Homo-oligomer: A and B are copies of this chain.
Amino acid sequence: MSLGARLDWARLRSRRAPDLHGWVKVDLEAMWATPDLLYLCDGAPSPEQMPVDRLRQAQAHAWEEAGDILSYGESLGHEPLRSAIAERMADRGVSDIDADQILITNGSQQGLDLVARALFDRGDIVIVEGPTYFGALQAFDAYGVEYRVAPMDEHGLIPELLEPLLIQEPRPKAIYTVPTFQNPTGVTLSPERREQLLALARLANVAVIEDDPYGEIYYTDEPVAPLRALDPNVIYLGTFSKTLAPALRMGWLVAPPDIFRLASNSKEAVDIMSDRFVQRAVVGTIADGWLDNQLVGGRAFYRERRDRMLAALEREMPEGVSWTKPEGGFFLWLSLPNGLTGDVLLRQALTHQLGFLPGSCFYPDSRPDTALRLSWPTTAPDMIDEGIRRLGLAIRECLSEQII
């Protein structure tokens, strides 16, 4: 056998799915190769809202400790950062935790992986919202789970339709939810339903995984408290990706003791610890109420763009199209008439240099959904107008030419 011989990797690889949920149905290459693409689906904060100078100063300051922080360190994370997060959680109604109950993660995406690792074995059932965040499916898939999709309306998960999914055999292990300004729909679980969801989960002995990237980006006067404020059983994932910057890869996890211990041990096993400089830079950036002040401006900035998009939709959308009116976060969900799917519409929209993610990206079975996700944070107001104009054009073309 020659040195160049190739091993039979098909026999060696694991049984995990090789493709990533969310991208299966979208010809991303074609989308990104479209010249002058106007992309109305970014999940990132606006560069104008990222605190470049403050982060830069904080990072320079972190170097003053450089001799001590270049080596290996705490797997849980930098204690002052965990303390600062505990204080921020208390301000949002989660007053029963301290720094030692917080694990620093590389964004909430790593939190999803660590929680999945703590909870799931092959064949376990996870209930997800329909539609749901595909990054969670990507994280959970590695553990061989199967999904049940719980229907939502404009108030979030519908308890009456969730209940049968909870008692169906085999019994599920967890419910994954983005209860506040959901990705992808922008809807928020109502206060009554929050209580109902938690009561159902306790009765069925099912873990609730609360993913909360957008809770601090609210557009009304009243912030929404996390589910975790109502029930210490809730596993909570937070992140600075939307309030500071995604590139920092800084998030955190809060969980009941058994799960927290498993997740902390896993953190050590998967990458030992998060970057020690960046943790210090984040502490410096959020200190002295700075981030809270920053967010006042950020909320106004994003709200203006949301208003602009809602107004453009009112103006441009043909009859039969409907959409959610989110009170925070980055996304809304647009539903199409006459069986027109987001997949089909995307092909037409690309001929007008408009891109978005079709609804099929947000279901475990990639169903050809008659909806799509839109976002506003990174798009200038006049381009929001232009994008929604092109979207209306593409929808009308599809409907009139009966392309469905």
Residues of chain A touching chain B, judged by Cβ–Cβ distance below 8 Å, are 1, 3-16, 18-20, 43-45, 47, 50, 52, 55-56, 59-60, 63, 66-67, 69-73, 105-107, 109-110, 113, 117-122, 124, 135, 138-139, 141-143, 173-174, 198-199, 201-203, 205-207, 230-233, 245-249, 256, 258-259, 261-262, 265-266, 268-278, 378
B107 touches A271 (CB 8 A): yes
Minimum C-beta distance from A51 to chain B (A): 9
Structural contact, A118 and B245, CB atoms closer than 8 A = no
A52 to B12 CA separation, bound complex (whole angstroms):
42
Interface pair A18/B66, CB less than 8 Å apart:
no
Q: How distant is A202 from chain B, measured CB to nearest CB, in Å?
A: 5
Complex contacts, A9 vs chain B, CB 8 Å: 207, 256, 258-259
Query: What residue in chain B is nearest A122 (Cβ atoms)?
Result: B122
22 A-B contacts (beta carbon < 8 Å): A7-B205, A9-B256, A9-B259, A12-B207, A13-B118, A14-B119, A16-B118, A18-B262, A50-B71, A52-B66, A59-B63, A60-B60, A70-B245, A72-B247, A106-B272, A107-B271, A121-B122, A135-B269, A141-B269, A246-B272, A248-B275, A249-B275
Cβ-defined partner of A13 (8 Å) among B119, B142, B270:
B119
Give the chain B neighbours of A124 by CB distance below 8 A: 14
How many whole Å from A312's CB to the nearest CB in chain B?
A: 24
Complex contacts, A6 vs chain B, CB 8 Å: 232-233, 256
Given contacts A52-B66, A230-B3, A247-B276, contact A11 B205 (CB under 8 A): yes
Q: Given known contacts A207-B7, A272-B249, is B70 in contact with A47 (CB within 8 Å)?
A: yes
CA separation between A272 and B60, bound complex, in Å?
26
Supplied contacts A3-B198, A8-B205, A14-B262, 13 more A-B pairs, CB within 8 Å? A7-B206, A7-B207, A7-B233, A10-B258, A13-B262, A44-B71, A55-B66, A56-B66, A107-B271, A138-B269, A248-B275, A249-B275, A270-B270
Minimum C-beta distance from A175 to chain B (A): 12
Q: Does A232 lie within 8 Å of B4, measured CB to CB?
A: yes
Measured CB to CB, the closest approach of chain B to A145, in angstroms, equals 10
Query: Of B143, B199, B258, B270, which is within 8 A of A1 by CB?
Result: B199
A231 touches B3 (CB 8 A): yes
| Contact between B19 and A265, CB atoms less than 8 A apart | yes
Given the known interface contacts A205-B7, A266-B142, A272-B107, the answer about A247 and B18 at a Cβ–Cβ threshold of 8 Å is: no
CB neighbours of A109 from chain B (8 A): 269-272
- CA of A173 to CA of B262 in the docked complex: distance in angstroms? 26
Q: Output the least CB separation between A188 and chain B (Å).
A: 21
With A and B bound together, what is the CA distance between A327 and B320 in angstroms? Answer: 74
Residues of chain B within 8 A of A120, CB atoms compared = 14
Q: How far is the CA of A280 from the CA of B84 in the complex (A)?
A: 28
Among B4, B13, B55, B118, the residue within 8 A (CB) of A258 is: B13
The answer to whether residues A269 and B139 also contact, given A106-B106, A118-B13, A262-B13 and a CB cut-off of 8 A, is yes
Residue in contact with A72 in the complex, picked from B44, B56, B66, B275, CB distance below 8 Å: B44
Q: Which 4 A-B pairs have the closest CB atoms?
A: A138-B269, A106-B271, A70-B245, A9-B258
A177 to B52 CA separation, bound complex (whole angstroms): 43
Minimum distance in angstroms from A19 CB to a CB of chain B: 7
Which residues of the other chain, B, contact A245 by a CB distance below 8 angstroms? 70-71
Contact A273 B259, beta carbon cutoff 8 Å:
no
| A270 to B73 Cα, complex, angstroms | 21
Q: Nearest-CB distance from A31 to chain B (Å)?
A: 15
